[in-house]
């Protein structure tokens, strides 16, 4: 593993990276050897490097520690109920690799540890009393940093309590630690793949992350009937480029992974240097819509601050409303009327 204690042995640091090392922010530096190996060491603007090697800009005190107000929506110590029909369960604060754009810095890497049996039981008690909850996001941190034994207990407990809840397996590990998905882990997942489905929610932000090993890790889910979706984050200097995102979306779909979200970076303290101007993001979205099919087009989405929730960001193609018709602009800039 690459940490702040050995990073200087492995990489010639820029001035900004070195300044962070002299005064590190709260989110630790931790990168798997595998993901670190994808970095072009001769390129200070390498897209993997920008995602995982911290810079001094992280220490700026702008923005919010909890922009989504997750603490306000917490109904137990680890269960968040913001949207009526779904909850998020914080299974651990640990990740295999800490992404510098992490939106949950208030929790991630804080030594909160793995979810306890009591915390699981508290969450289940709440879920049993709230049948409106149809989906549960198993998130963190990364749930696959949990031991196989703890994962089996978690899956078993949830399936026995609510077989009707869709379980979203939210993980970056298929990109950063694909070796984790070995036979023993997949046997546990197979064992509890009944009732409402498991759904794999991955995060690939750049085409270089879709290595043969990463694709194989995702395929292990797909091959046992678990659909895979991708949630990218739009990041300055990483993927804020139409050509890169077009390549990423096509490569994802080719490998049976649905491009689901393209998130605008959240207003989290320490991440402003990675956040793309939302006007530029809309320009990228507009051009992507010309190039990609509905299957490969992700939803450009912002999670609004102060707990405002998710909104889809897109070009408004409806331009005029008349008494008997409306006027649209096509993606190519032409006008078409449609009767009311």
Element (DSSP H or E) covering residue 191? helix 183-191
User: pLDDT tens digits for 44-58?
Assistant: 999 999 999 999 999
Please give the mean pLDDT across all residues of the chain. Answer: 96
The answer to whether residue 188 scores a pLDDT higher than 80 is yes
Sheet containing strand 325-329, edge to edge, reads: 318-321, 325-329, 335-339
Note the pLDDT of residue 332.
85
Q: What's the pLDDT score for residue 331?
A: 86
pLDDT for residue 135 is more than 90: yes
Residues 113-129 have a mean pLDDT of 98
**Residue 308 DSSP class:** T
pLDDT single digits (tens) 89-118: 999 999 999 999 999 999 999 989 999 999
Which among 315, 328, 329 has a CA at the least distance from the CA of 340? 328
The whole-angstrom distance between residue 295's C-alpha and the CA centroid of its chain comes to 19
Whole-number pLDDT of residue 61? 72
Q: What is the pLDDT of residues 256-306, one digit of tens each?
A: 999 999 999 999 999 999 999 999 999 999 999 999 999 999 999 999 988
Q: Could you tell me which residues come within 8 angstroms of residue 272 by beta carbon, excluding any fewer than 6 positions away?
A: 57, 60, 62, 63
Query: What CATH class is the domain 59-231+240-315?
Result: alpha beta
Number of Cβ within 10 Å of residue 237's Cβ equals: 15
CA-nearest of 244, 273, 262, 260 to 100 is 273
pLDDT tens, position by position, 203-221: 999 999 999 999 999 999 9
Per-residue confidence (pLDDT) for residue 337, from 0 to 100 = 96
Cβ neighbours of 112 (radius 10 Å): 16
CA 3 to CA 330: how far, in whole Å? 50
Can you give the residue ranges of every domain in the chain? 59-231+240-315
List pLDDT tens digits, range 1-59: 999 999 999 999 999 999 999 999 889 999 999 999 999 999 999 999 999 999 999 98
């Amino acid at each position: 593993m690459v940490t702040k204690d050995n990073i200087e042995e492995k990489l010639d640091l820029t001035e900004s990276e070195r300044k962070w090392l002299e005064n590190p922010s709260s989110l630790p530096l931790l990168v798997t050897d595998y993901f670190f190996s994808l970095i072009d060491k001769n390129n200070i603007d390498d897209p993997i490097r920008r995602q995982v090697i911290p810079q001094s800009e992280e220490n700026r005190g702008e923005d919010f520690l909890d922009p989504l107000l997750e603490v306000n929506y917490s109904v137990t110590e680890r269960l968040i109920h913001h949207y009526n029909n779904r909850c998020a369960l914080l299974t651990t604060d640990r990740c295999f690799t800490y992404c510098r754009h992490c939106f949950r810095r208030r929790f991630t890497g804080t030594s909160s540890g793995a979810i306890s049996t009591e915390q699981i039981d508290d969450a289940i008690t709440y879920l049993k009393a709230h049948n409106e909850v149809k989906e549960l996001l198993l998130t963190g941190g990364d749930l696959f940093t949990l031991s196989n034994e703890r994962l089996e207990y978690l899956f078993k407990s949830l399936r026995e309590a609510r077989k009707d809840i869709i379980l979203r397996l939210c993980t970056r590990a298929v990109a950063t630690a694909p070796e984790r998905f070995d036979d023993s882990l997949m046997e546990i997942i197979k064992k509890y793949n009944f009732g409402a489905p498991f759904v794999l929610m991955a995060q690939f932000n750049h085409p270089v992350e879709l290595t043969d090993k990463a694709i194989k890790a995702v395929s292990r889910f797909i091959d046992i009937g678990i659909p895979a979706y991708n949630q990218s984050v739009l990041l300055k200097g990483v993927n804020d480029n139409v050509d890169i995102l077009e390549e990423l979306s096509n490569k994802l779909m080719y490998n049976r992974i649905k491009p689901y979200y393209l998130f605008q970076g959240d207003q989290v303290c320490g991440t402003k240097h990675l956040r793309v101007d939302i006007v530029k993001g809309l320009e990228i979205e507009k051009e992507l819509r010309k190039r990609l099919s509905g299957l490969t087009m992700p939803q450009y989405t912002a999670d609004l601050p102060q707990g405002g929730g998710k909104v889809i960001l897109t070009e408004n193609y409806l331009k005029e409303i008349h008494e008997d018709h409306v006027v649209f602009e096509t993606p190519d800039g032409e006008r078409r009327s449609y009767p009311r």
